[in-house]
C-alpha cells in the first residue's frame, strides 16, 4: 500500500458539494492499494502511521504522534498514488489494485486506523472528491509498504 500523509490543522472532503468528511488537527492520509496488497500490509501501515512522531512537543521538536495529541485522521482513497511516469507524458495506473480490492482494502485500512484509537473521517471511494486542507508545517510524508 502507498500512503501520502500530511500533518494538518484541518482537512475536509466534499462530494457533489456536500461535505462527507472533515477533521481538525491531525492527519490527512491519501491511500492507494496496489496489486498484491493484503490486510496484513494495511495493519502494519495503520499501526506505523498511528505512532509516527511528526507533531511538535513542548520543545518544538517533532516528537509526538497523532495518538499523543488526540488528533484525528481523514482517510481518502487516491489510486493516482500508483502512477507510473517512467514512459511518455501520460501516467499509467496498472499497478493499482482492482477497484473491488482497492475499495475493500481502503475501508479495512480506515477501520484499522480507527482501531488505533484515532477518530477517522473518510472520503467516498471512486467518487470525484474535492479535498481541502491546511497543511501544518508543511509536513508531508510518503510511505510505501514495499519499502518498509
Residues taking part in catalysis: 78-80
Largest CA distance in the chain: 48
Question: In sequence order, which ranges of the chain are alpha helices (DSSP H)?
Answer: 39-51, 66-69, 99-115
Identify whether the C-beta of residue 124 lies closer than 8 Å to the C-beta of residue 14.
Answer: no
Q: The C-alpha cell of 92 is what?
A: 499509467
| The length of the chain, given as a count of residues | 148
Question: In sequence order, which ranges of 9-126 are alpha helices (DSSP H)?
Answer: 39-51, 66-69, 99-115
3-state secondary structure of 59: coil
For 79, which DSSP code? G
Amino acid at each position: 500500500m502507498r500512503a501520502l500523509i500530511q500533518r494538518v490543522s484541518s482537512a475536509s472532503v466534499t462530494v457533489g458539494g456536500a461535505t462527507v468528511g472533515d477533521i481538525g488537527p491531525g492527519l490527512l492520509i491519501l491511500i492507494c492499494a496496489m496489486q498484491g496488497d493484503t490486510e496484513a500490509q494495511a495493519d502494519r501501515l495503520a499501526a506505523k502511521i498511528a505512532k509516527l512522531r511528526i507533531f511538535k512537543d513542548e520543545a518544538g521538536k517533532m516528537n509526538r504522534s497523532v495518538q499523543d495529541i488526540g488528533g484525528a485522521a481523514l482517510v481518502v482513497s487516491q489510486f493516482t498514488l500508483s502512477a507510473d511516469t517512467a514512459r511518455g507524458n501520460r501516467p499509467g495506473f496498472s499497478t493499482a489494485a482492482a477497484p473491488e480490492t482497492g475499495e475493500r482494502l481502503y475501508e479495512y485500512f480506515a477501520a484499522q486506523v480507527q482501531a488505533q484509537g484515532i477518530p477517522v473521517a473518510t472520503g467516498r471511494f471512486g467518487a470525484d472528491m474535492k479535498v481541502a486542507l491546511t497543511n501544518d508545517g508543511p509536513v508531508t510524508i510518503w510511505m510505501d509498504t514495499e519499502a518498509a
